């Protein structure tokens, strides 16, 4: 087992693109399109899991950790829903972009340049977001292990990633990177994609019980992402700490 989860090549790759995080037509355009379904999915399931009744600021009093937060594309909407947000990323450039953007918007978000194993929090978190990050880490087992330690008992962890199938290779790499140019070539490494069963087994070893798993598929006709039962390419799972 590795001593850290940081994959330097992956960090360097995203650091080089860091200036474009908040450009909806830049290199992170696909993530901007992807964000609404992620926000909706997290919001609905957090409300359901914690039996929240309030409609405005439903995440009030929830401690939320966004791991691999990048420039804060997901961290900021979570804060606007009322959550007490901590965003961590191993890229100092990403964290600087996130801090500058949050300050411009008057948002109080705790951004830290760190990986989960280097976190020394005084408290544990109600919700942890591992969104589109597990396919970029150095040691998945160690990453899940250290992430799980940061989660409160009965807290929930969202993990969104790419399935390791022929279809995901054709869609996420050949299609998205080489044909449609949605992503820079080399954004993803198919060999680091994760089958849902493998992810579930690793999580199970770390006291994380699967609550739900859904596919996230792009609808070309409506030009937006939608929840689906098909997990062949993108999928999102919810785990509860037991």
Per-residue pLDDT band for 151 (boundaries 50, 70, 90) equals very high
pLDDT in the model for residue 224: 92
Nearest one of 18, 156, 24 to 89, comparing CA atoms: 18
d(CA 103, CA 123): 24
According to the model, what pLDDT value does residue 238 have?
A: 98
Q: How confident is the model at residue 3 (pLDDT cuts 50, 70, 90)?
A: low
**pTM metric for this prediction:** 0.93
Q: In this structure, what DSSP letter does residue 54 have?
A: -
DSSP state of 139: -
Supply 16's token pair: 């080089």
Any long-range contacts for 47-54 (C-beta under 8 Å, 24+ apart)? 49/156, 49/211, 49/238, 49/240, 50/126
- pLDDT for 5 equals 81
CA-closest candidate to residue 210, choices 174, 187, 238: 238
Give the span between the Cα atoms of 220 and 142, in whole angstroms.
Answer: 37
The whole-number pLDDT of residue 122 equals 86
Selecting from 3.90.1150.10, 3.40.50.150, 3.40.50.1980, 3.30.300.30, what CATH number does the domain 8-241 have?
3.40.50.150
Q: Given a cut of 80, is residue 2 above it in pLDDT?
A: no
- The whole-angstrom separation of Cα 203 and Cα 209 is 7
Residues making up the chain, counted from first to last? 242
**Cross-strand pairs, 162:** 234
* C-alpha pair distances (Å), 145 with each of 38, 148, 168, 199, 204: 24, 5, 26, 12, 10
Does position 139 have pLDDT exceeding 90, yes or no? yes
What digits encode the pLDDT tens for the residues 6-41? 888 888 888 788 789 999 999 899 999 999 999 999
Whose tokens are 């700490």? That residue is 241
Instruction: Identify which has the larger pLDDT, 3 or 174.
Output: 174
List, for residues 32-69, the tens digit of each pLDDT value.
Answer: 999 999 999 999 999 999 999 988 899 999 999 999 99
Three-state SS at 135: helix
Residue ranges per structural domain of the chain: 8-241
**What does the pLDDT look like over 92-126, one tens digit per residue?**
999 999 999 999 999 999 999 999 999 988 899 99
pLDDT tens digits, 73-89: 999 999 999 999 999 99
Quote the pLDDT of residue 121: 84
Q: Is the pLDDT of residue 1 over 60?
A: no
Model pLDDT for residues 194-242, shown as the tens digit of each residue? 999 999 999 999 999 999 999 999 998 888 999 999 999 999 999 999 9
What pLDDT was estimated at residue 12? 83
Return the DSSP state at 172.
Answer: I
- Reported as a pLDDT band with limits 50, 70 and 90, residue 132 is very high
- Token representation of residue 216: 């996230």
């Amino acid at each position: 087992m590795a001593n850290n989860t940081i994959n330097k090549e992956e960090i360097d790759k995203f650091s080089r693109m860091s200036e474009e995080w908040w450009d909806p037509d830049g290199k992170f355009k696909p993530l901007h399109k992807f964000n609404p379904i992620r926000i909706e999915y997290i919001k609905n399931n957090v409300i359901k899991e914690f039996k929240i009744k309030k409609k405005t600021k439903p995440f009030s009093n929830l401690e939320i950790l966004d791991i691999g937060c990048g420039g804060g594309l997901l961290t900021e909407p979570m804060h606007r829903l009322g959550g007490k947000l901590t965003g961590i990323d191993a890229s100092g450039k990403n964290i600087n972009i996130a801090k500058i953007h949050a300050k411009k918007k008057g948002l109080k978000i705790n951004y830290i340049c760190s990986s989960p194993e280097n976190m020394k929090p005084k408290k544990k978190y109600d919700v942890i977001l591992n969104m589109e990050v597990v396919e970029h880490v150095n040691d998945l087992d160690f990453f899940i292990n250290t992430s799980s330690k940061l989660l409160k008992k009965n807290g929930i962890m969202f993990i969104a990633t790419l399935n390791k199938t022929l279809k995901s290779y054709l869609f996420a790499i050949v299609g998205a990177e080489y044909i449609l140019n949605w992503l820079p070539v080399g954004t993803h490494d198919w060999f680091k994609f994760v089958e849902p069963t493998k992810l579930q087994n690793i999580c199970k070893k770390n006291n994380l019980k699967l609550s739900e798993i859904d596919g996230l598929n792009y609808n070309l006709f409506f030009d937006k992402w939608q929840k689906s039962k098909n997990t062949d390419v993108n999928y999102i799972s919810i785990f509860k700490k037991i």
